[in-house]
Amino acid sequence: MAREFTSVGVVGLGTMGAGIVEVFARNGIDVVAVEISDAALDRGRANLTGSTDRAVARGKLTEADRDALLARVTFAVGLDALHSVDLVIEAVPEHLDLKQRLFAELDRVCKPEAILATNTSSLSVTEISVATARPNQVVGIHFFNPAPVMKLVEVVRTVVTSADVVADVEALCGRLGKVDVTISDRAGFIANALLFGYLNHAVDMFESRYATREDIDAAMKLGCGLPMGPLALMDLIGLDTAYEILDTMYRRGGRDRRHAPVPLLKQMVTAGLLGRKSGRGFYTYERPGSPKVVPDEQTPTTTEPAVSDAAVTKIGIVGSGTMATGIIEVFAKAGYEVVSVTRGAEQSAKVFEAVQTSLNKGVVRGRLSEADRDAALGRINWSATLDHLADVDLVVEAVVEELSVKKALFASLDEICKPGVVLATTTSSLPVIEVAMATQRPADVVGLHFFNPAPAMPLVEIVRTIRTSAETIATAQAVSATLGKTGVVCGDRSGFIVNALLFPYLNDAVRMLEASYSTTDDIDHAMKLGCGYPMGPFELLDVVGLDVALAIQRELYLELREPGFAPAPLLEHLVTAGYLGRKTGRGFRDHTRR
């Protein structure tokens, strides 16, 4: 039978510590909240009362419940106040020597049967535990910020942690209304091990001026449905905290370069640019601690495109697949005249039927009037020859992802289209420059990577090559805005922004599973509940297709040549065995029974 915890102690009353105090007190458990000095205690008390007062103001807590919650908390200076508690959780800064000294003192002060827990997000729980004479009673209980809101708790067992201790803590998490995932003591646990490689990669993109901070963040929010962009999230976490986590993971996790902190990160920490807590990080904030971003020297002076798209009225779209069909619909609804070029009348009929069906669904769902549907269909002209693109202002190709096919197509477009026409490829993985150099006008060639389904997804990646002109980029931005899309500009590298950041994260999750570190369910729970992701990595891999993920990861590895980007062998084996995800009914999960 699980142990009954009647009182707990929390050491360290910063944002995280105060949040942990609130979690326990909300659930009827008496808490002894400890700090190192009277001043620190007053700050901790203010953190707790501020959080509970905000909960009352938002209607999530009654005044009576708030008062009862606060009555369960005893504030004290010094560890001696913890002599009779059943469990202690520390939430002090992420320095191993500090935590080891603290645990040695807790071992002396606390009663023999008390469990000692660390909220560390990256340090070795084992190394912390050996500072005590009771390592079998030391466990990691990693809450996520803000602790009162986030549902996930990572329970970290060492090789000597008692099974009873782990079971008791798991039961306690359930009492607190949390979802726990129990894992072994490895660098970064689950969530941070997957999250921080992705965040570090985003900082590297920004440092190399591959894309702006705004475009990187917008790409991941709009392209993946994430609650925050990676650079804004780094500011929220704190760049000093992020640096310490990455550095620890690099040293403890096999020195994977994906976790080696990008030099810019260390420079910003040294300069005191720590994110929201200091008022400035990747963004500048109204004041320290404020979430409100204010303009700074890096903020674009305008969000409007550099030129209008007034000269672009007629669009040519080449292709007959799902992506081409969606793009035709997007341009036609936006008021452009469209020339759809397919291989023949039969293909044109299929594309017309698909566009009409999609527009009809829009009418049924109340998103489109019948008049607007009819007007959009009336703007589309159907053709089986490229010659009808001679008078268009912009061509968008959406043909098969084969370089030879695209190069041949662009060579033909170069001969047919009038001078100054922007030629755009929707490729998601091929080098745009190779397509551009198949023409005599590489300055007019740009990548326009729409996301599937094109009518619904609000993002377009605008890919500039080393030869793309500023005017071509500006036109692409203006057209994207007219379509109601957010156009993010990036360089011509494998994966662009979204795929370059997304698929290595997915690959890391496969490696974690491959190492038997955790289960697919726990890894998915960790990323959804701990990071607010709309889908866990294995859910997403099954939707995207394991073969697609493998192909993209191979391209990234071939370009970057970093060992950390090499496709996980498990992913290779599953694809070879025909486990491709939902499309085949089997992937990381069995979809045939659903």
Among all residues, which ones are annotated catalytic?
121, 142, 154, 192
> How far, in Å, CA of 529 to CA of 287, rounded?
29
**Structural contact between residues 338 and 332, judged by C-beta atoms closer than 8 angstroms:** yes
3-state secondary structure of 573: helix
Question: What DSSP designation does 581 have?
Answer: B
> How far, in Å, CA of 577 to CA of 471, rounded?
48
User: Residue 592's closest CA among 542, 536, 538?
Assistant: 542
**Structural contact between residues 109 and 140, judged by C-beta atoms closer than 8 angstroms:** no
> How far, in Å, CA of 359 to CA of 354, rounded?
9
> How far, in Å, CA of 142 to CA of 66, rounded?
25
DSSP 235-275: HHH-HHHHHHHHHHHHHHTT--GGGSPPHHHHHHHHTT--B
Residue 257 token pair = 């370069």
Angstrom distances, CA of residue 160 to CA of 130, 375, 490: 10, 71, 49
Residue 591 token pair = 């979809």
> How far, in Å, CA of 190 to CA of 527, rounded?
8
**Structural contact between residues 177 and 155, judged by C-beta atoms closer than 8 angstroms:** no
Burial zone of 20 (CB within 10 Å; 0-12 exposed, 13-18 middle, 19+ buried): buried
> How far, in Å, CA of 130 to CA of 325, rounded?
62
> How far, in Å, CA of 174 to CA of 182, rounded?
13
Determine how many CB atoms are found less than 10 A away from the CB of residue 458. 13
3-state secondary structure of 58: coil
| Three-point CA angle 203, 208, 209, nearest 5° | 95
Residue 515 token pair = 């190492």
Question: What DSSP designation does 161 have?
Answer: S
Cis status, amide bond into 504, omega within 30 of 0: no
Output the 3-class SS for 30-43: EEEEEECCHHHHHH
> How far, in Å, CA of 417 to CA of 386, rounded?
9
> How far, in Å, CA of 378 to CA of 342, rounded?
18
Give the pairing of strands 445-450 and 459-464.
Answer: antiparallel
